[in-house]
Structure 1
Amino acid sequence: MKWFANAWARDEFRSGLIETVKLALIATAIGVPCGGAAAYAIFRGHFTGKKLVSGLLLGPLAVPSIIMGTALYIFYIRLENSFDTTIVGTSAGLIAAHVLLTIPWTVRLVLASMEGLDPTVEEAAVNLGAPPWTVIWRITLPMMRSGIIAGAMFSFIQSFENLELSLLLIGPGKITLPVAMLNYLEFRVDPTLAAVGTLQILLIAILMLITDRYVKLARAF
């Protein structure tokens, strides 16, 4: 147990954990509403280019994170050159990158949870005189609740454990836990890193079990 105590005693792991949790919570808070709205539009909507929109939203799931991180880094550099501003190394740039991780997973899990839902329930509410916002709040969102919760859990996991995007886009003085673990590995090889990794795996496993409680993950993959 001394290695767990040693991990907690190191400032880079404590500050990295706090920074990672903050980043994951913010990215989840932004990405889940956007992804949930997009999933509902894809599931219920009838519009030209629906398959194209669905492919664009789900496409990042097929792209390795290192490629996505490199592409975002190059894109940010070009934006910096075009608008004479700083994006790489800022909190806003890192949050925007992690939001791109959360939206595709939210769309996929919400779509999986909405399979088999009866659209006539919403139609009945409208026919009985319910205003649009009442239908959304009292009918639509409760039907999407399981997918939204699962999307939030999985989005948090994806942001929490991501290394590639953070490594390329993180700024000085703000290091996430995966980056702190990589930095530690450069100079030391001892069970402290294994202790941190064990705790990280346990947290992710708990969140995965909670996610599977609301949406069976086999339906999403």
Structure 2
Amino acid sequence: MAATNIPTTPHVFTAVVLRAFDQRRLGRWLLKAAAGLSLLYILTPLIFVTWLSFCREEIPSFPPHGYSLRWYAEIANNQQFIDGFLLSLQVGVIATAIGLAVGIPAALCIAHFRFAGRGFLNNLLLFPLVVPGVVLGTAFYVFHVQIEIATNGNVPILGSLAGLVNGHILLVIPWTVRLVTATLANFDRTLEEAAQNLGADRWTTFRRVTLPSILPGIVAAAMFGFVSSFSNLEISLFLVGPGRTTLPIAILQYLEWKIDPTIAAVSVLQMLVVGAALLITDRFVKLSRVV
């Protein structure tokens, strides 16, 4: 019996190896198929909106009767879209700058120091990411009303540009704290100690050592914070004043009275702006390092 089993042992081993290889190959194919289906699920709405923006007819049909750029020209003729874009751009830039100025020191404090309530402070700063936008907008509106009541109208913040920026800053701070803290997690603090041992003060150490190391997180936070502010609808609905409108609000108001591919064209331009920001940011700072 022992002599009979000897010749078959290599064949058994080969069969086991081939079976394991086939299972790994099947697993890779299944993983690639799942990733492809997920990507298709994500891209399908974007592809459909892009196709819709080039349809010639006002009410699209399939098969389409032709393609045109007329809906992109309609954007330039709609002053509400232009004013909304300019206001969204202005609010996004200001809110991003102030949010970075507040969020970077907060992230440095959380990453470098150990103190009572550190975890609570970190969760509190990230809270706006999990709270629904309608709740935040309502809270800000009530807060601004209470400020005007308490000051007898001497601080006209309700419906003002400052009040709108104030609400959008809350969208930038969580991104800044999260991404800068993630960057600092891999930062070697002995570099700061070495710089200070060589005579550098705290500001010089931060500017020459710490800042270049956390720059990818700062750039990524600025990009994500700006996109969150630029495309925000819920908070803006509660805080925007008379005679002002952001681009998301302008789109919503347009849809109340008319439905045509102009909205699809506006959406495509928004996607191009965000996509360009992502490509430019990744060109100078690899987002894969922090995201």
Q: CA RMSD in A?
A: 1.5
| 1:215 matched to 2:287 | yes
> Structure 2: 5+ residue runs without aligned partners?
1-68
1:210 Cα offset (Å): 4.7
| One-letter code aligned to 2:104 | G
- The correspondence of residues 62-211 of structure 1 with structure 2, limited to 5 A, is 62-85=130-153, 86-210=156-280
Moved more, 88-97 or 197-206: 197-206
- Cα distance in 2, alignment partners of residues 58 and 211 from structure 1: 23
| One-letter code aligned to 2:144 | Y
1:24-74 Cα shifts (integer Å, max 9, x gaps): 000011101211111111111122211111111011111111111111111
- Cα distance in 1, alignment partners of residues 104 and 206 from structure 2: 12
- Cα distance in 2, alignment partners of residues 34 and 114 from structure 1: 16
- Matched position secondary structure for 1:71: helix
1:77 Cα offset (Å): 1.3
| One-letter code aligned to 1:73 | Y
Residue 99 of structure 2 is aligned with which of 31, 35, 38?
Answer: 31
Aligned to 2:109: 41
Q: TM-score scaled by structure 1?
A: 0.94
- Cα distance in 2, alignment partners of residues 172 and 156 from structure 1: 24
1:3 Cα offset (Å): 0.2
1:133 Cα offset (Å): 1.2
1:207 Cα offset (Å): 2.7
Aligned to 1:14: 82
1:124 Cα offset (Å): 0.4
- Cα distance in 2, alignment partners of residues 193 and 8 from structure 1: 13
- Cα distance in 1, alignment partners of residues 287 and 263 from structure 2: 32
- Cα distance in 2, alignment partners of residues 205 and 104 from structure 1: 22
Is 1:154–1:208's contact at 8 Å kept on the other side of the alignment?
no
| One-letter code aligned to 1:185 | L
1:191 Cα offset (Å): 0.6
- Which structure has the bigger radius of gyration? 2
> Structure 1: 5+ residue runs without aligned partners?
none
1:83 Cα offset (Å): 1.6
| One-letter code aligned to 1:215 | L
* Percent of residue pairs bearing the same amino acid type: 46
Q: TM-score scaled by structure 2?
A: 0.72
- Cα distance in 1, alignment partners of residues 152 and 281 from structure 2: 42
Runs of 4+ residues deviating >3 angstroms: 208-215
Aligned length: 219
1:5 Cα offset (Å): 0.8
- Matched position secondary structure for 2:124: helix
Is 1:97–1:165's contact at 8 Å kept on the other side of the alignment?
yes
1:205 Cα offset (Å): 2.9
